[in-house]
Chain A
Amino acid sequence: MSSNGLLIDYEYCTGCHSCEVACKNEHGIPLGKWGIKLTEVGPFKVTDDKFEWNYIPVPTSLCDLCESRVGKGEKPTCVHHCLAKCMEYGPVEELAQKMAAKGKKMVMFIP
């Protein structure tokens, strides 16, 4: 039985917080709690002219992969509203193939 997951291309996540707020709206999650939360790695220097700076949203146990929306044929609200369009939802096998195809800066979550 296949699981579904969230695939995030963090080469392009700009740290806009839309996923956080869209999720809070959808599930009525109050201040101090999150269904998906943005994390930040960096910035720090890797070489003289390259900086490491990544934003990665992490789903929490309050995330149900927007079961209700998906049931209506919609995308999870974080995926729908993401400004960088760097999030995808689907069966983990499919997402894993996309992950490998891109080959870098990809993360897949099953919350």
Chain B
Amino acid sequence: MNKEWKHDNEDGSYTVRTCGWSPPGDHPVGCGMKLTVKGGKLVKVEGDAEHPISQGRLCVRCLTLAEYVHHPSRIISPMKRSIEDRGKDKWSKISWDEAWDIIVPKILQLKKDHGAESIVVFGGTGREACLYYYPLGFASIGTPNVCYPLSGWSCYGPRCAITDYILGAGYPEIDFAGTFPDRYDNPEFKLPKYIVEWGKNPLMSNPDGFYGHSLIDMMKRGTKMICIDPRITWLGTRAEYVCQLRPGTDTALAMAFLNVIINEDLYDHDFVDKWCYGFDELKERVQEYSPEKVAEITWVPKQTIIEVARIIAMNKPTAIQWGLAVDENPNGVQLGHAILSLGAITGNLDVPGGITLGAPAALLGKWRMDTRSNISEELWDKRIGAKEWPALANALATTHPDETLDTLETGKPYKLRMGWFNSSNFITATNSAQPDRWYRALKSLEFNVVQDCFMTPTAMAFADIFLPLPTFAEHDGIVITHFGRNPVFLGAMNKAFTVGDCKSDIEVCIELGKKLHPNMWEFDDVPDFFSKQLKPELGIDFNDLRELGVYQPKYTYGKHEKGLLRPDGEPGFNTVTGLVELTSTLFETWGDDALPYFKEPPYSPVSTPELFAQYPLILTTGARTFTSFHSEHRQISTLREITPDPICELNPVTAQNLGIIEGDWVDLENMFGKCKMKVHLTPCIHPKVVHAVHGWWFPEKPAEEPSLYGVWDSNINKLVPHKHIGKLGFGAPFKQMICKATKRAARED
């Protein structure tokens, strides 16, 4: 890429090259773009053709960036609200100094009177804040309680933990030639023959740093798709196979694939003999999962199961991409274990065109680990739910989310008194189950700070201080794919202009940190901070990165053969046995089965037939759209023009039986809650299944309580129960509940 990242234009404007992250939200995909600014306003956004991954392409969320940046509702100055006015739209603008003059004494008082543990930092997902909300908690504030409130931590975390325990590597991602400047033309790269999308639709989700439309790039070059999904998506119509399974039965399907591959002797003997532990035990276990039996369980035809299993085993390389459906499932740990085993025994781990593995230590992750040193052993011991859930507590630095709600509700083992909500709007249908229950419990907090760009239901309900965040166009930073756990590149985020009086996540960390724990924050400024991360690991500083545009680290395949996965430098995997654990030593230690098994969802036609008679639809949720990132973007008119309403999908036959037609509003209801959605009829969903979108609230609805922007109206997470999680503490039934659908009286909401 061109060294010059900023240049002046003839008409008095200037153009800055940058890589995108958030806010506005998305995962760390880091798309390249050129931002043109004139008179302090963003006047043009153009995709950067030089960027090796995005190559000039931009999705509608970046294309509408100017609408977001200059939106009249955006909050661009700190605000305060008196506690009596919580829930009311009664804010006064303050300066940052005034904000700190309220926040800092309050933190000091709480630490003195009740201990630092009485303060909890809540994070969201995907945004840049994911890198910074932990250090904010541990090293700026000094609390051991950093909470990702999603029941069962059902998002990315379980997959990271499973990978840690079974492979001892960084995150597994399919090979899309991301680390090569010449991409698919690089001689080291091999095109995947097949890509399996397991509960994942990257075209819309661009999960965690994977450039979703690389799937199209590879399909054009000959890669074939296999989709495992209860919905037949657009991608499914271009796939060679769609396993349209009953939601929540994925693990049975994975075990059936293993059954066929092992019994028909199609597995990679070399890899199994050299690098796998517990193959014989796995072989024995999968005998319980014949294709015939699993066809009954999953609704996937027996012949399809057999054919897909053979294809995966007999085509090298085949890459398997595992999605959120692995995490949003109480049986998800077992599913993830089975999927990794599938990749392992077919010899597709860390081979060109297969499943790449990150190194065990996240790139640029050392600093984040170091921030934990600010917390004493004694204080770290107080982390909510850590003792009860060691499998979670060992892999992740947060509290246990479900235990945290319990603590808020009961005041045990101690009372939480202050909440800091960074980029987390979780009383919407995002990262919480039974958000209405969280809403009631959060009322007990005596002081709250919220960081975000717009007023949200969560901020309106709880914030005493609102600290405005800048968009990625307005601050310096680094975007790194997979948060460093499988980095195909690092991109420079270059501040292009300033809007109002906002401070970025890292600016807030440093500023607050210098007031409360100065020894943890010995950085002169933000570029200094980034240079200190980059220099030791990569030998470049922040300015070098700006000139490079993106830095693609060299990728080494077959790291397990070269001693690059273990700290002792020996060949093998960084696990207890040094091998891929098809039988897990750690799961057994923590009280779960060492081998994968299928377990029915907590509510299903099989596990709760009487309830299913009342609630005869299987509810799955959360498929992504192009036009929003979780609860964001609802105030962006151009995006609302494309996606105006929250949609639930019903099969036309089901709808007919219920007297429902296209465009009707329906109530979706179960024993936990109720919400309304607009119906879209599609043959792509099974007659017994309904899909509902997440994240919906309505900036155009009344702001104050009880409405809170209509946050309860179409909030599908109300139907998902608290603490129905897997044995190791991971996984909640967001993608496999039951409900009924009833047409609403009026033909509008």
Chain A residues in the interface with B (C-beta under 8 A): 11-12, 14-18, 20-22, 24-25, 31-32, 42-45, 50-53, 55, 77, 80-86
Q: How far is the CA of A51 from the CA of B682 in the complex (A)?
A: 11
Residue of B nearest to A84 (CB): B216
Q: Is the CB of A83 within 8 A of B57?
A: yes
Q: Does B684 contact A (CB under 8 A)?
A: yes
**Minimum Cβ distance to chain B for residue A56 (Å):** 13
Known: A18-B63, A21-B63, A21-B638. A85 touches B216 (CB 8 A): yes
Cβ–Cβ < 8 Å partners of B58 in chain A = 18, 22, 81, 83
Residue of A nearest to B63 (CB): A21
Contacts of B676-722 to chain A: CB distance below 8 A: 682-684
Q: Is the CB of B626 within 8 A of A85?
A: no
Count, chain B residues at interface, CB 8 A: 36
Task: Provide the B18-48 mask, 1 if CB < 8 A to any CB of A, else 0.
Answer: 0000000000000000000000000011110
**Minimum Cβ distance to chain A for residue B626 (Å):** 5
Beyond A51-B232, A80-B47, A84-B213, 20 additional pairs, beta carbon < 8 A: A11-B238, A14-B203, A14-B213, A15-B626, A16-B60, A16-B203, A17-B626, A20-B60, A21-B64, A25-B45, A25-B63, A31-B638, A45-B683, A50-B237, A52-B237, A53-B237, A80-B46, A81-B58, A82-B57, A86-B216
Q: Does B637 contact A (CB under 8 A)?
A: yes
Known: A12-B219, A82-B57, A83-B59. A17 touches B642 (CB 8 A): yes
Cβ–Cβ < 8 Å partners of B626 in chain A = 15-17
28 pairs of residues in contact across A and B, judged by CB atoms under 8 Å: A14-B203, A16-B59, A17-B627, A18-B57, A18-B59, A18-B60, A18-B63, A21-B64, A21-B638, A22-B63, A25-B44, A25-B63, A32-B641, A43-B234, A43-B684, A51-B232, A51-B236, A51-B684, A53-B237, A55-B234, A80-B47, A80-B49, A81-B57, A83-B203, A83-B212, A85-B55, A85-B213, A85-B217
Chain B residues in the interface with A (C-beta under 8 A): 44-47, 49, 55-60, 63-64, 66, 203, 212-213, 216-217, 219-220, 232, 234-238, 626-627, 637-638, 641-642, 682-684
Known: A12-B219, A14-B203, A31-B641. A81 touches B236 (CB 8 A): no
Q: Is the CB of A12 within 8 A of B63?
A: no
**Minimum Cβ distance to chain A for residue B117 (Å):** 45
Known: A12-B220, A80-B56. A43 touches B237 (CB 8 A): yes
Q: Is the CB of A83 within 8 A of B641?
A: no
Q: Tally inter-chain residue pairs, CB-CB below 8 A.
A: 87
Q: How far is the CA of A80 from the CA of B58 in the complex (A)?
A: 9
Q: Is the CB of B220 within 8 A of A21?
A: no
**Minimum Cβ distance to chain B for residue A66 (Å):** 12
10 residue pairs, one from A and one from B, having the closest CB atoms = A21-B63, A53-B237, A51-B237, A83-B213, A84-B216, A21-B60, A83-B57, A16-B626, A14-B203, A81-B58
Cβ–Cβ < 8 Å partners of B638 in chain A = 21, 24, 31
Q: Is the CB of B237 within 8 A of A81?
A: no
Q: How far is the CA of A76 from the CA of B637 in the complex (A)?
A: 24
Cβ–Cβ < 8 Å partners of A85 in chain B = 55, 57, 213, 216-217
